[in-house]
Amino acid sequence: MELRYENEHFERTDRAAIRTYQWDKLKELLPRVSATNAFYAEGWRAAGVDLARVKSLDDFSRQIPMFEKKDYVDDQNRHPPFGKRLEQSVSSGEQIEIYTTSGTSGQGVEVHAQTMRELKEMQSMYRYMFRWSGIERGDHIFFTLPVTMLGGGRIEYQGALGYGLTTYTVGNDSAQRKLDLLKRFRPSAMFGSTSYFGHLAALATDPDDLSSVDVLLAGLEGTGFSYLEQLEEMWLAKVHDRFGCTQLKSDFMFTCEHGIGSAARPGMLHNLDPYIFMEVIDPATGAQVADGEFGELVFTSLYHADNPVIRCRVRDGGVYRDGSYCACGRPFGGIEVASVARTDDVKKVKGVNIFPQAVDDTMYSLSLVDEYEILLTSNTELSDVATVRVMTKHAIGGEEQASFCQAVREGLRDTTGIQFDCELVDSLERSEYKVRRWKDERIAREKPQN
């Protein structure tokens, strides 16, 4: 397979050279952040950090505290609207870009920013993804994500402009309108959320309407490997996955020329190590996990000097892979494809801990499944009732309905160890952003009085 390098200096060096480069960047960044950013300076001081004692990447991981969503939101609430974290950048008089998160976690909306210097570095990262996926400058690409104040959608669009793509911002149009425009303009690539690509393919009445698309740039949400395989079959296109977060104002992990791989050996999301220092840690010890182990993701931007992001805990986890895992030979570490999951999103149902991604993989191993949701309710004895509501790709009836629901129930029982009810529905709510498949409407049990 021919490899398409964006920067041969980094992509063909060794792991030791990458780590030396990362530490050199951090040595410059940390004193500057301490002197100019009150949010980090105060947080480090409260944690007893002495930067003079931080003399290596290992020291950095051991001694510098992590920050996360609740810390950013608390800072904004105490010092509205931007918080001390963005104070220097906002007051500098320079042009900046402002992004928000959706606030769907219930903790509130985060505000993030970057200067034009940082935005140019962000655009240079997207060049890796486009190059690796075989997309050339000038190619036509559809963006199914709306372009709004949210980071998701706007950031990817800015990345595409920096690379030199011909863009179609169809994210605010209806699904049917997107398909009409797809048939008319016939782009060679699509950029959007993983689940929404499945929705569009299911709505298409003529497979030829999808035939111009060679590359699907998926991401924005975790999913099982079987769903990615289904996308390639439905679109007859190659799926390339990505990972990023609004806190870092970019995607920064991408699949290379080998794509998603196979179920027996999933591909790899390569972290762009020259830009982002990634840790995959055991949350109990804070230590880096070994190759092939699941850990929690912690990120530090090596280029955000104006709006720093230092040891950001995003509450996502994944199976860590050393660069040697992938046949492409690049030295970048990363995460195994289809292993990313929320570390704070384990569902306890009938006393059993269930990982939503395991359910996702089971459901999309069934070729009839278009979309599904899990509804958790309580019966009259306040016991948990789990119902899977399924929208199929085409109408089924009679014996086929019964056999399909039986397959769903058996598959979920084998995966989770508990019994699900199965209900077929005509439609389910769709989102261009991250899909929310679990609804918890259980009655809270009152704790016994002492």
pLDDT in tens, 185-201: 999 999 999 988 988 99
Q: Do 226 and 237 meet the contact criterion of CB atoms below 8 Å apart?
A: no
Average pLDDT, the chain: 92
pLDDT score at 448: 41
- Residue 308's Cβ-count burial label (10 Å; 0-12, 13-18, 19+) is buried
User: What does the alpha-carbon distance between residue 80 and residue 329 come to, in Å, rounded to a whole number?
Assistant: 47
Residues 6+ apart with CB under 8 A from 446: none
Q: Report helix, strand or coil for 390.
A: strand
pLDDT in tens, 302-331: 999 999 999 999 999 999 999 999 999 999
Residue 202 or residue 79, greater confidence: 79
pLDDT score at 360: 85
Indicate whether 10 pLDDT > 80: yes
Homologous superfamily of domain range 1-345: ANL, N-terminal domain (3.40.50.12780)
pLDDT score at 398: 83
Average pLDDT over residues 6-24: 98
Q: Where in the chain is the domain with CATH 3.30.300.30?
A: 347-440
Q: How far is CA 50 from the centre of its chain?
A: 33
Indicate whether 105 pLDDT > 70: no
Q: Report helix, strand or coil for 54.
A: coil
Q: Where in the chain is the domain with CATH 3.40.50.12780?
A: 1-345
Provide CATH code, domain 347-440: 3.30.300.30
User: What does the alpha-carbon distance between residue 302 and residue 274 come to, in Å, rounded to a whole number?
Assistant: 8
pLDDT in tens, 153-188: 999 999 999 999 999 999 999 999 999 999 999 999
pLDDT in tens, 33-45: 999 999 999 999 9
